[in-house]
Amino acid sequence: MSPADFLNSSVSFSSPPRQQGSPLAGMLSALAASLKTTNDNVVFQLDPWDDLSAARAWMNLAGPQTLVLPRSQSDQASPARILAVTGLPGRALADGAIIPTRAMADFVRVADLKQVVLVDVSGPVDVSDVLFFRTVLQRHLGLLSAEPRVQRVLQQSGPSIILEARERQDALECMSDALMRYAQRYLGTDAEMSRPPEDMADRLLNASGRIRIRPMETERGMTHLDIGVQVEPDLQSPAGVAVLYDTITGQWYDQ
């Protein structure tokens, strides 16, 4: 199907509540995630997911170059203008920009992620691609469905950041990274920490496609961090699954 044809087409687990185990519990936000499959592609949503963490996750997934598209018509917020003003590496392409993926962390330090869309495209990209992708976004059509060369898309939707990808593995890597960062925040450390294995993230998301982790259901012991995970579809029941991080060995376990 040509771009023109595409654009013209119509378009149980349960356990007693845990006790608060740390004064940090009242200072941290709950972590919520969902994973679903749409038209053979996966849609992973994480809340909260700060711009810098999302950019770093993107840097681990995407190819060497990232196409950055504006979400609005404002020239002030266009990636092309941001490059011109900041001198960051990359090149303007219409009102979008091609930026080295390795530089995305630097880009989101000066640009608001909610004003742009990150697109990983296999092969060269020209102005006609940018104009086509902009039209697809404006009509709220999926870029992965519209263009086979698009491998993944990252954008903000309300308080959440959404990753659309062709492979479930991408979402599992992001979920694993989010669990690690949650543990770091709870323990109050920036020290390097191992990530939980991706098959653990897969088991958690497989239960209902949605999970929530609340600080009040997380406890710190002498040698471990016990993270309660809600996996019921409505996320209203107490945490029914425990994820343990051994602070001595750096290993992760789930129960």
d(CA 249, CA 198): 18
Q: Which amino acid is at 194?
A: S
Return the minimum-mean-pLDDT range out of 27-31, 100-104, 190-194, 244-248: 27-31
HEC profile for 27-82? CCCCEEEEEEEECCEEEEEEECCCHHHHHHHHHHHCCCEEEEEECCCCHHHCHHHH
On average, the pLDDT of the chain sits at 88
pLDDT score, position 135:
93
Can you give the pTM of this predicted structure?
0.87
pLDDT score, position 75:
60
d(CA 239, CA 135): 43
d(CA 167, CA 131): 26
Q: What percent of the chain has pLDDT over 90?
A: 74
Give the confidence band of 74 by pLDDT, cuts at 50, 70, 90.
Answer: low
d(CA 200, CA 231): 13
The answer, yes or no, to whether residue 122 has pLDDT greater than 50, is yes
